[in-house]
Amino acid sequence: MMIRNQKGLTIAELLVGIGLSAVVILVVVAVQVQMAKKQTELTRKLDDSIDQNLAERIIFKNLNGLEVSYNNILVRDDNGNNFYDFYPDLTENVLKVRADREFTLSLSSGQSEFFVVTQDFASGALLNYDPVWAYDVGADPGDPNKAATLTFSPSKSRKWISNEADGGRAGFWADGKILFFDTPSRIRPIKNGEVDILTPPRSPFYIGAVSTQAGDNLQNITGGVEKMFKMTQPSNGNAITSLDNFLRTLPSVGGGQTIVRARVVKIIKYYVEADTKKKASDYETQPLVLYAAEYRNGKWVVRSMLSDGVEKMVLRRDSVMKRMIYFKIHKSVKKKS
């Protein structure tokens, strides 16, 4: 015969059961809260990573045609050296100066803008430009010791550049396009009767903008942007004021006709501003927004946001003997709660 307990649970047993249930519930809730936090953190990191990768892809594409920037524009790096110095014919032991370059784009560094001049491949490939087709030759003076007059013709120059059927580039001549003319010659100044090898070699060049208001004439770059261009004769420092002036003062190449190259370029500015949509006190450093803008018709247009929540962007060159540029976008670190 079995004797059954008819008394049920005691108060002590009931309290123990409730306590154990509460502990289990607390553990489950704590685990769920931690999982939710980690999932939120992983989602944020994934979003930041995608945002950062997209921005870096855009910048990489712009840096792909950067040849025209080297030795032609002046952008001071963190140490006051020109970021775009390039010595293709020297070694570091001959140079005897700092060879690396680093530029920190941030508000705290005092350098909130970084400039790039890059070839616009979408407008057409490099064009060999023949100066002869840009001039009207005057009447024969009848004296072999006197040269006939040469008159620069903006109309002839424009027609030759844009006539794709005869080897020109139809995509070059459109409102806002910026044309860059230079030569393959690389020249250094002469000081005290000797070539100054410590000055990076460069070609004379002219850069001008197509404007519907100016017709066939190219307009000089304005708005303060022109100050970063070294648009002078590398041999004597004389200013190059126009395409006509550039063509009339081309460097000699041993008696043969100097080759002139023309291409469309884009002037791009990367810059940062404070990210007002994020609470600065939530981050270890002030979060910034990284923007890009393109110079057209005397002003910066086509502004686009590349990334938000940025701490800084660092651009680096290991050596001025190489053209390779490394860059990295650093995201602002959020404070641990």
Least confidently predicted of 68-72, 186-190, 289-293:
186-190
| pLDDT, average across residues 169-196 | 91
Q: Supply the pLDDT for residue 205.
A: 97
Residue 94 phi, psi (nearest 5): -80, -35
pLDDT band with cut points at 50, 70 and 90 for residue 212: confident
Q: Is the pTM of this model over 0.85?
A: no
DSSP code, position 117: E
Count of residues making up the chain = 337
Q: Rounded mean pLDDT of the chain?
A: 86
Residues 6+ apart with CB under 8 A from 123: 169, 171, 172, 174, 177, 264
What's the pLDDT tens digit per position in 139-149? 888 888 888 88
Asked whether the predicted pLDDT for residue 68 surpasses 90, the reply is yes
Residues 6+ apart with CB under 8 A from 80: none
Least confidently predicted of 5-14, 25-34, 60-69, 210-219:
5-14
- Residue pair 321/307 in contact by the 8 Å Cβ criterion: no
| pLDDT, average across residues 251-263 | 81
The runs of H, that is alpha helices, within the chain are: 11-62, 92-95, 154-162, 243-248
Nearest of 152, 164, 295 to residue 216 by alpha carbon: 152
Asked whether the predicted pLDDT for residue 216 surpasses 60, the reply is yes
Residue 46: both structure tokens together: 């994934």
pLDDT band with cut points at 50, 70 and 90 for residue 70: very high
Asked whether the predicted pLDDT for residue 87 surpasses 60, the reply is yes
For residues 173 and 64, the model is more confident at: 173
- What percentage of residues in the chain have a pLDDT greater than 70? 88
What are the residues facing 174 on neighbouring strands? none
Residue 61: both structure tokens together: 């594409």
Q: Supply the pLDDT for residue 78.
A: 96
Burial 23-46 (b: 16+ CB within 10 A, else e): eeeeeeeeeeeeeeeeeeeeeeee
Handedness of CA 40, 41, 46, 48 (dihedral sign): positive
Q: Supply the pLDDT for residue 256.
A: 67
> Using alpha carbons only, how large is the chain's radius of gyration in Å?
32
Q: What angle do CA 178, 182, 183 make, to 5 degrees?
A: 155
CB count within 10 Å of CB 239 equals 8
Residue 165: both structure tokens together: 């059927």
What's the pLDDT tens digit per position in 13-67? 667 667 777 777 777 777 766 766 666 565 555 455 556 777 888 888 888 889 9
